[in-house]
Amino acid sequence: MSHHATTKLSSLLLRQLGPRLLSPSPFSGAMMETSKISRAVARNCTSIASTNAEKEEKPVPSSVAESDKTAIVSYWGVAPPKLTKEDGSPWKWNCFRPWEAYKADTTIDVKKHHKPVNSVDKLAFWTVQALKYPTYLFFQKRHMCHAMLLETVAAVPGMVGGMLLHCKSLRRFEQSGGWIKALLEEAENERMHLMTFAEIARPKWYERAIVFAVQGVFFNAYFLAYLASPKLAHRITGYLEEEAVNSYTEFLNDLENGNFENVPAPAIAIDYWCLPPDSTLKDVIKVIRADEAHHRDLNHYASVCSLCSVSEKH
């Protein structure tokens, strides 16, 4: 092949293959397109962010801000109905409702004592006595702090007993004879005692730590005791309530002797126990002591029938 023919063939191949070999590859072209799109998206995001920033800088009307802060106390996000008292004034408590208020029976016998007659009773009695003396030594005449610690413990048995009877009723497909509701109401009543005292005084940090530790230990111990023997658990609670009655009796004596200031009753106590508007702390302690005496009788009776069966159909 001559030199002329070779040159002509080379030029022909260069014209055919040159654009493909010398042009940018598809991958590089795609990369260029991607970079263009990225720059465009970045510009759009920047403009959107600046627009949102301008919107945030605009002052929010006070009416809108206040409406956003309005709390709706409901599980379903629906504002609860506005409740009123008998005199037409608004009801301001969320922890209980007007139909849950009542008048305590202050004529109940506060000196009643169940004498231990068998081994279960004696075990329960001496258990409570062993727990009582360290508490009295620690609090001495600080009745308010003593009462607050007492209520944090006294509210546990009703909840534990009601919970376990509830589960037992579900397992056996049987009714409880009304005991679940009675025990849960007892726990709620004890909690309201604590809410009342919290309106009058606040415990110190170390007293809160004691409450935290004592409640944690007592809850688990009582839970195991109830699983082992409901009769023993309710007898322990009955003796605990007897000591609560005695403690509030001492509180009343110091109020009457002027050793403790007889401050006005908190509003929550007046509404919960339907007390007169001019009631004092002495009146509050009287109704709380009556509640404790009622819980005493309830738990001693529950220990007699032992609540080992939930088969009653009434």
- What secondary structure, in 3-state letters, does the chain show? CCHHHHHHHHHHHHHHHHHHHHCCCHHHHHHHHHHHHHHHHHHHHHHHHHHHHHHHHCCCCHHHHHHHHCCCCCCCCCCCCCCECCCCCECCCCCCCHHHCCCCCCCCCCCCCCCCCCHHHHHHHHHHHHHHHHHHHHHCCCHHHHHHHHHHHHHHHHHHHHHHHHHHHHHHCCCCCCHHHHHHHHHHHHHHHHHHHHCCCCCCHHHHHHHHHHHHHHHHHHHHHHHHCHHHHHHHHHHHHHHHHHHHHHHHHHHHCCCCCCCECCHHHHHHCCCCCCCEHHHHHHHHHHHHHHHHHHHHHHHHHCCCCCCCCC
Confidence check: pLDDT of 175 > 60: yes
Rg (CA), the chain: 37
pLDDT digits (tens, 9 = 90+) for 252-287: 999 999 888 899 999 999 999 999 999 999 999 999
Q: What is the pLDDT of residue 200?
A: 87
Does 190 count as an annotated binding residue?
A: yes
Cα of first residue to Cα of last residue in the chain, in angstroms, is: 119
The percent of residues above 70 in pLDDT, for the chain, comes to: 73
Distance CA(277)–CA(104), nearest Å, equals 16
pLDDT digits (tens, 9 = 90+) for 17-55: 555 544 444 444 444 444 444 454 444 444 444 444 444
Q: What is the pLDDT of residue 8?
A: 58
Does 143 count as an annotated binding residue?
A: no
pLDDT digits (tens, 9 = 90+) for 110-134: 999 999 999 999 999 999 999 888 8
- Please tell me whether the overall predicted TM-score, pTM, comes out greater than 0.75 for this model: no
How many secondary structure helices (H) and strands (E) does the chain include?
10, 0
Buried b (16+ CB within 10 A) or exposed e, 70-109: eeeeeeeeeeeeeeeeeeeeeeebeebeeeebeebeeebe
Residue 211 in tokens: 């409450």
Does 241 count as an annotated binding residue?
A: yes
Does 314 count as an annotated binding residue?
A: no
Could you give the C-alpha distances from 310 to 96, 120, 155, 313, in angstroms and in order? 29, 21, 23, 8
Distance CA(203)–CA(185), nearest Å, equals 25
pLDDT digits (tens, 9 = 90+) for 144-153: 888 888 888 8
